């Protein structure tokens, strides 16, 4: 991981190597933090941050899910993200805002702990390096929707993702695919799932998945390009018989899936729809499509 010079912490810019968090912080012990993954992209007019407003809205929604009283307004936090990118002279890369319960008490209840935050930004290229990737259905299911606020981006949820990835990676796969409690497709450990069949896109319904911002962007883009797109229950058998499958996410962007459980998806190559969506998405984040300029915040 490539570092930059500064990290914003609790309203101050600090040197990367000098940022500290107490070892008895509540979030370290119980996963009681919330975070976002946001990307910055290089354009001819300078760096842009993709869908910053939507990411901050979701961050604050997640914080509310675990009763955090935010010391900063959304506008203040947005400006802090922009300033972190600017001061680090980051042209393109990844931004990680994290809000966490700090050092106060170590009971399960975090309510006696201060709410603290950091914003880091650094260069980061492709998240999943294979193209297309090999995916396997994990033995672990996606968190049950009555077990937590499953559409919030809470740190502790990602133990589910870690276990899933470690299992399939040890068996030679690039990424996991998680089913829900009914045995239907939910999502990847850090990505949303799409399939294409006979020119039509299908993606799992909200309710047992993260409401991905890239997911929603791709749905909107696909419809604008004339692809019928449906949000519904998706069976594993449908994915195996699909013409194309791909993941979406801030880190993953649009990542084609070549096989699931060792079975090729069609010919195992990048499909025409996946390729087109990826091409158009990268044009958007490069500032080359004015129609979607509302998604870009210039630094």
Residue 155's pLDDT is what? Answer: 98
Q: What is the DSSP letter of 291?
A: G
DSSP for 229-290, please give it: EEEE---HHHHHT-SEEEEEETTTEEEEEEEETTEESTTSSPPHHHHHHHHHHHHHHTT--G
201-219 pLDDT, tens digit each: 999 999 989 999 999 999 9
Question: Sign of torsion, CA 142 145 149 152?
Answer: positive
Determine the pLDDT at residue 125: 85
pLDDT attached to residue 126: 82
pLDDT at 164: 98
Q: Using CA atoms, how far apart are residues 209 and 194, in angstroms rounded to an integer?
A: 13
pTM above 0.85, yes or no: yes
Q: Annotated active-site positions, please?
A: 153
Task: Identify the pLDDT of residue 130.
Answer: 74
pLDDT number for residue 129: 77
Please identify every stretch of the chain with a pLDDT value under 70, giving residue numbers as ranges.
none
């Amino acid at each position: 991981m490539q570092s930059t010079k500064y990290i914003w912490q609790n309203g101050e810019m600090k040197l990367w190597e000098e940022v500290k968090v107490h070892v008895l912080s509540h979030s370290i012990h119980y996963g009681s933090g919330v975070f976002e993954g946001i990307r910055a992209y290089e354009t001819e007019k300078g760096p842009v941050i993709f869908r910053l407003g939507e990411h901050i809205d979701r961050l604050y929604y997640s914080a509310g899910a675990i009763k955090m009283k935010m010391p900063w307004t959304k506008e203040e936090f947005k400006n802090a993200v922009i300033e972190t990118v600017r001061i680090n002279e980051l042209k393109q890369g990844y931004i990680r805002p994290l809000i966490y319960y700090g050092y106060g008490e170590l009971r399960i209840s975090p309510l006696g702990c201060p709410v603290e935050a950091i914003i880091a930004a650094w260069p980061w290229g492709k998240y999943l390096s294979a193209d297309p990737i090999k995916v396997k259905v994990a033995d672990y299911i996606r968190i049950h929707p009555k077990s937590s606020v499953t559409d919030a981006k809470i740190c502790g949820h990602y133990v589910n993702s870690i276990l899933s990835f470690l299992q399939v990676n040890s068996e030679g796969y690039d990424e996991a695919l998680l089913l829900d409690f009914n045995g239907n497709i939910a999502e990847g450990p850090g990505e949303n799932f799409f399939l294409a069949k006979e020119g039509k896109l299908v993606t799992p319904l909200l309710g047992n998945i993260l409401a991905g911002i890239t997911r929603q962007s791709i749905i909107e883009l696909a419809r604008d390009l004339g692809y019928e797109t449906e949000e519904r229950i998706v069976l594993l058998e449908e994915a195996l018989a699909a013409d194309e499958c791909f993941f979406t996410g801030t880190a993953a962007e649009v990542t084609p899936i070549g096989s699931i459980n060792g079975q090729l998806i069609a010919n195992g190559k990048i499909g025409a729809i996946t390729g087109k969506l990826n091409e158009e998405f990268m044009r958007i984040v490069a500032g080359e499509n004015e129609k979607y300029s509302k998604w870009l915040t210039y630094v």
